[in-house]
A and B are shown apart, each in its own frame.
Chain A
């Protein structure tokens, strides 16, 4: 008899393919796990509408569970309620920082980002003297910054 806890334990090793230091659970995109007999339903949600990593995440979930003998797996994708960076765990934020990505700010209010202009601290040296190079970077969910103190460039997870 498979339990939800067992499935969650397996999924706790599945990471984001583009940011492999953070798990899908810590990222907040693992929405729900249900087990009916041997039928497993995993529900996930994208960070961005066009997130190209979703297909790979679906495949990673399926193959991780297959590795434990769970082959009757359905991965559902839902858009609502829309993901927000507030669903990222503290552990996930620390993982990002340690990896060199500035984690998102907690949102202030409302559904629309009001923090577009706020400057993150450098994840390398901690300096607040940072400068946005481009709002649209290597992935939909990050922007590119540089630190004016240690001169290192870094990615920032966009808050929304």
Chain B
């Protein structure tokens, strides 16, 4: 993941030692880890399009998006490690955790499927990450705010890219319409997990550190429904909302993703270029 100095996200002097702040630091670490896991896992899925995209420009585009996600993930995992205070760096967190220790939303880890499904997922994620990072840019935690203030600009491009493809495919041929609708139907139920609140987000929202997941939902829905209308796609109707990613209960395919992500580091600890 890295050969260079880690990125410090909060300047030089992070004041962690003050007793009452320890619990907040632990909460913030867990929250940063969620955001970082989301970004890293989505980035890994996007990387699977390397050399297999429908055209070379798209190949470059998807890897650029993956690189943005990886950049945010590196900062967030570094931050989580610093706040945790147990001496783990971004590489330890990325390469040496097993499935139950990962806290990404299930939507990020779903297999990419065809190009239509990849773009449908990207639309659902980018339409969420944009208001999420916009809100977090003013987080009470300087580290989170720094990453978010950077990422919000990049995710604006991701949303724009996903929007243009979903519209092109949805309002394209019968076949492209059929496939992007099928992809959307497959990933849609998993989006609900993004807006779940739990004890951790409640505590951090109260302190101004986290964005209120539930408040992001109307904005997300408006963006997505606007795109789907233009794309002549149906908004999926379902009451089935799988969940569990935040507490470490992942889908079968996630194990294979982690095996590929972690294999080199685990087989050859400390390997570098």
Contacts and interface: CB of A to CB of B under 8 A. Distances in A.
Given A79-B146, A111-B153, A50 B70 contact: yes
Given A50-B71, A76-B12, 7 more contacts: A48-B67, A58-B4, A83-B150, A112-B153, A135-B160, A136-B65, A138-B60
Contacts of B185: none
A82 B4 contact: no
A46 B71 contact: yes
B160 to A, nearest CB: 6
B67 A52 contact: yes
Nearest to B155: A112
Contacts of B61: 134-136
A140 B146 contact: no
A140 B137 contact: no
Q: How many interface residues does chain A have, given as a range?
A: 20 to 34
Interface in B187-208: none
B72 interface: yes
Chain B interface secondary structure, helix, strand, loop or mixed?
Answer: helix
Contacts of B137: 111
A135 B161 contact: yes
Interface in B140-168: 142, 145-147, 149-154, 156-157, 160-161
B152 A112 contact: yes
B3 A82 contact: no
A82 B146 CA distance: 7
B contact residues, range: 35 or more
A158 B156 CA distance: 12
B68 A140 contact: yes
B170 to A, nearest CB: 20
A144 B58 CA distance: 12
Query: Closest 7 CB pairs between A and B?
Result: A50-B71, A49-B71, A80-B146, A55-B4, A136-B61, A136-B64, A79-B146
Interface string B54-86: 000100110111011111101100000000000
A140 B72 CA distance: 13
B5 A79 contact: no
Contacts of B7: 46, 54, 77-79
Interface in A14-70: 46, 48-52, 54-55, 58-59
A48 B68 contact: yes
A48 B8 contact: no
A1 to B, nearest CB: 23
Interface in A102-150: 111-113, 116, 133-138, 140, 144
A157 to B, nearest CB: 14
Contacts of B113: none
A134 B9 CA distance: 31
B19 interface: no
A79 B60 contact: no
A102 to B, nearest CB: 17
B88 to A, nearest CB: 19
A49 B150 contact: yes
30 contacts: A48-B67, A48-B154, A49-B147, A49-B150, A49-B154, A50-B67, A50-B69, A50-B70, A52-B67, A54-B7, A55-B4, A59-B4, A75-B5, A76-B8, A76-B12, A78-B7, A78-B8, A78-B146, A79-B75, A81-B149, A82-B146, A83-B150, A111-B137, A111-B149, A111-B152, A112-B156, A135-B157, A136-B61, A136-B157, A138-B60
A113 B4 contact: no
Given A79-B7, A111-B149, A134 B57 contact: yes
Nearest to B142: A80
A137 B32 CA distance: 30
B146 A50 contact: no
A49 to B, nearest CB: 3
Given A79-B75, A79-B150, A54 B4 contact: yes
A93 interface: no
Nearest to A139: B64
